[in-house]
Structure 1
Amino acid sequence: MQPQLLLISPSQSYRLAPYLAAAERLGVTLTIVSDSRYSLTREVANGILGEFAQPGPLIQSILKRAKNTPLVGVVATDDNTVELAARIATALELPSNSIASAALSRRKDLARSTLQAAGLPVPEHWQLDLTKAITPQLQGLPYPVVLKPISLSASRGVIRANTLDEAAVACETIRRIVATLNNPIERGTLLIERYLPGQEVALEGLLQHGRFTPLALFDKPDPLTGPYFEETYYITPSRLPESMQQQIEQTVAGACRAYGLHQGPVHAELRIDGEQVWILEIASRTIGGECSRSLDAVLARPLEEYVLAAAMGAPLPVERRMGASGVLMIPIPRAGVLRRIDGEEAVRKLPGIIDIRLSVAPGQVVETLPEASSYLGFIYSRADTPQLAEQALREAHQRLEITIDPLINR
């Protein structure tokens, strides 16, 4: 009998398909735990459906299923499922991060306090209560600052403010963005951080029995200075000095220990200012969107295979390939209605480009940051060096012609 794992995934997650493909290659059966009855994906329709925000009945359904179908592990696909996955794994008595550590990896306010108490490098920060008068809470801050929701990802709602007036406008923008969140604390609390200059990087890794194994360090070559922080290019391997790369890995491993994380994938975002490495985010999930495909060129196996094998207690040896790779998350240049994206076939023919995947259909309404939560698609490159991988993506981006009509107010 094939080993069976639970995959906790929103029905429309970008991450669902890569995990299903990885499970097939490994000979693993995945049972999908989803929040929608209206998915076209067969594995979702045949899985376990329930309400993520009120998981009691859902967990009972899973426990009932487990009596007849032994399960060996639980994996979360996205930020909004990591805490639920920990709850389910705890109920099933399967290896997992604790519920508290999973919550830390999702809640930026709790994470900042924990890391600061552990003596780890995080930006100076404050909390703002949206249910109280805003202006008094913004006085005396060391501008510029960055304001952000405490639980969203993909840079959604993250805004730099250089003055008190800009910060007040940012608060109202973020208030609209978080208004639909279920948790009242997440609707009513913002995090404010001192703005840090410098380069951003992302580190992908894996925890097994508390040991952190780095998989790939990505450079983000575009400057991320605000007012919004749209991520575009990810390039690996990093071009940073080896000593700095080791410092980054040690910093992330220390943060995982401070959180109490010991199992599963880790995606970390950091900023480097001179010789100082600052922690921006430590998430107990893989890299978001379809960006994991950029690792196929530098790892012997797809990222999801490493994650599933580790969840079963049978980790795979990490083998790396020569060369470099990159991914461009195609940015949305303006809000409106997408009419067409021309140049896809020209991009596919460019040297170094291995694929392009468009994810927004003509006729759809698209938004820009800080409201946006998605991209137009993804372009992937492979080359002998990081410089060439980046160059290929930049040329590919220039070949795309994106037509977006403005929304007409009625």
Structure 2
Amino acid sequence: MNGKKHILMIGGGLQEVEAVRQLKAAGWTVGVSDRDSDCPCANIADYVLEADGRDPERILQELLIRTPDNLPRVVFTLTELTTTVAILLHALKLPAPSILSVVVSQSKALSKDCWLRKGVRTPNGVVVSDAQGLASIPTRSAPPYVIKPDVSSGGRGVVLVKSADKLSEAVRNAIDCSANSRCVVEEYIHGTIHDGNAYFSNGIFVPLSISDRFTGDSIAVESGAICPSCLPPNKQKDFFFLFEESCRALGIEQGPVKIDALYDGKNFYVLEVAARLHGPRGSLYLIPASFGISLCVPVFDAIQSNSMDIEWDATRVKQFCVYEDIRIAERGVIISIEGIEIAKHEEGIVDIQLLKNIGDEIRTPHDSNEVTGFIFAVGSNEIECRKRIKTAHDVLHIRLVNRPHTELN
């Protein structure tokens, strides 16, 4: 086991397998913590700790039993389990953001309150804990509204409400989807969505990447993304200024950070910040395919050495990479999946990720956890990427059968 390059990842799901592969290829000893000892990463990781990702005490106990003389030098997650990561980093006496700042970042309500108080540009909004709390919405604020569970992931429970008579139902649903039974009702600002990654080394902000994200019919359903960003250089500078300002306002000034931001054609607005890199689709596939180099490896190498000297140039893009969701017009139960291996070998195809299997129901997706899958392609420009995705999509055949008396939306 490599003592200096020993890393622990919290969460060992299917989409995290690529993180283990990239890190092991770079010489890291990779441990994974997951509630399932037979998680997808178990087949490739050096070891697995069987522990719930929200139980840092259990994870630390398992670490001390398994590797007492060779504890991890880096702990990370690509999921929402950032509070666990912060607690473990502090326990292991490793560079870490404050636990309080990470806890605040995990709450849309607490984050928004902090940004509004400190003058960081973010959509106006109020916190609602029950349907009666709708009276707290300012009368000057008219529909449409964006309703968000205070603590949730994958866009679950996020909806755009275009009329006041739908507001109460949306609020109740968002409260049910939130881990703390609260939601945020915020003003809707029309614009484009942009995802950013960066890294803090002892308070110094190092920008890494920007990608542009697309949504489908529902604002909660991700339909694709492109890297590099189509924003002009001066706007990218403004984006990173807001990114750094948003993190510092919350007190996050150490380690990897990510942002979701909205651009209305004039100004950027922070929607969300977290003490981690963006999830697997962006950080493990989209960005590395565009830059021609792993994003995780140089970031975690820099963290391990506690240095701001990171082997990454945010301007050195190799090619365009686009991913799009796999769209199926019909609704029903999957009975066969054909052509995936042929589609994977089409020109420019980087990866095809199926999130549904035979026997699963295809419904109208309400959040990004319910999409069928994604196709990734590279090319010299966005148009070429999208043409290659269409070619692969046409080769892929997913057959469905209707299930009687089952509501498939």
TM-score with structure 2 length normalisation? Answer: 0.86
Report the secondary structure of 1:153's partner residue.
coil
Match of 1:214 in 2: 207
Instruction: Give 1:359's aligned residue.
Output: 355
| Pair 72,135 (structure 1): closer, same or farther in 2 beyond 3 Å | closer
Preserved contact between residue 33 and residue 52 of structure 2 (Cα < 8 Å): no
> Alpha-carbon deviation of 1:382?
1.2
Aligned CA distance change for structure 1 residues 395 and 215 (closer, same or farther; 3 Å): farther
Q: CA deviation at 1:231?
A: 1.3
Across the two proteins, how many residue pairs are aligned to each other?
A: 398
Deviation at 1:408, TM superposition (A): 4.0
Give secondary structure in 1 for the equivalent of 2:249.
helix
Q: Which residue of 2 aligns with 1:338?
A: 334
Closer, same or farther in 2 for the Cα pair 1:88/1:75, shift >3 Å? Answer: same
Distance 1:163 1:254, change over 3 A: same
Of 134-143 and 299-308, the range deviating more from structure 2: 134-143
1:55 CA displacement = 3.4
* Whole-angstrom distance in 2 between the partners of 1:96 and 1:327: 32
Aligned-residue offset at 1:24: 1.4
Q: Identify the match of residue 254 of structure 1 among 245, 250, 266.
A: 245
Amino acid of the residue matched to residue 232 of structure 2? Answer: P
Q: Corresponding residue for 2:33?
A: 33
Paired with 1:376 and 1:280, the residues of 2 have a C-alpha distance of 26
Residues 51, 200 of structure 1: alpha-carbon distance in 2 compared, 3 angstrom cutoff? closer
Q: Answer yes or no: is the 8 Å Cα contact 1:300–1:318 preserved in 2.
A: no
Choose which of 370, 378, 382 in structure 2 pairs with 1:386: 382
Residue 379 of structure 1 deviates from its aligned partner by 1.3
Corresponding position: 1:302 with 2:298: no
Which residue in 2 is equivalent to 1:243?
234
SS of the counterpart of 2:68? helix
Q: Is the 1:74–1:96 Cα contact (8 Å) retained in structure 2?
A: no
Matched residue SS, 2:369:
coil
Aligned to 2:325: 329
Distance 1:402 1:368 in 2: 16
Contact in 2 for aligned 1:138/1:164 (Cα 8 Å): no
Identity %: 22
CA contact (8 A) 1:335 1:365 kept: yes
What per-residue deviation string (whole Å, max 9, x for no partner) do you get for residues 53-84 of structure 1? Answer: 443343333345553224322112311x2110
Give the distance between the partners of 1:289 and 1:331, measured in 2 at CA. Answer: 20
**In 2, are the aligned partners of 1:32 and 1:43 still within 8 Å (CA)?**
no
Q: Shift of residue 20 of structure 1?
A: 1.3
Give 5+ residue unaligned stretches, structure 1. Answer: none
User: What is aligned with 1:205?
Assistant: 198
Residue number in structure 2 paired with 1:318? 312
RMSD over aligned CA atoms reads: 2.8
Structure 1 CA distance for aligned equivalents of residues 30 and 157 of structure 2: 34
SS of the counterpart of 1:261? coil
1:284-295 maps to which residues of 2 (within 5 A)? 284-291=275-282, 292-295=284-287
Q: Deviations over 1:219-278 (max 9, x none)?
A: 23x466x64432122111122221111111111111121122223332221111121111
Map residues 129-208 of structure 1 onto 2, 5 A cutoff: 129-130=129-130, 133=132, 136-137=135-136, 140=139, 141-178=141-178, 181=179, 186=180, 188-208=181-201
Ranges in structure 2 where 5+ consecutive residues have no aligned partner: none
When normalised by structure 1's length, the TM-score is: 0.86
Q: CA deviation at 1:145?
A: 0.4
Check if 1:50 corresponds to 2:64. Answer: no
Native 8 Å contact 2:20 2:45 kept in 1:
no
Letter in 1 for 2:144: P
Distance across 1 between alignment mates of 2:61 and 2:341 = 49
Task: Tell me how far apart the structure 2 counterparts of residues 392 and 136 of structure 1 sit (CA, whole Å).
Answer: 50
Displacement of 1:407 after TM fit?
A: 4.6
Instruction: Look up the equivalent residue of 1:240 and give its one-letter code.
Output: L
Kindly indicate whether residue 361 of structure 2 is the aligned counterpart of residue 369 of structure 1.
Answer: no
**Distance change (3 Å), C-alpha of 1:54 and 1:381:** closer
Aligned mates of 1:335, 1:107 — CA distance in 2? 34
SS in 2 for 1:104: helix
**Residues 162 and 22 of structure 1: is their aligned pair in 2 closer, same or farther, counting only changes over 3 Å?**
same
Query: 2:77 aligns to what?
Result: 76
2:198–2:208 Cα contact (<8 Å) kept: yes
308-317 or 42-51, larger mean C-alpha shift: 42-51
Contact 2:21 2:44 survives alignment (8 Å): no
Matches of 1:356 and 1:346, distance apart in 2: 11
Matched, 1:233 2:224: yes
Q: Retained in 1: the 8 A contact 2:261–2:271?
A: yes
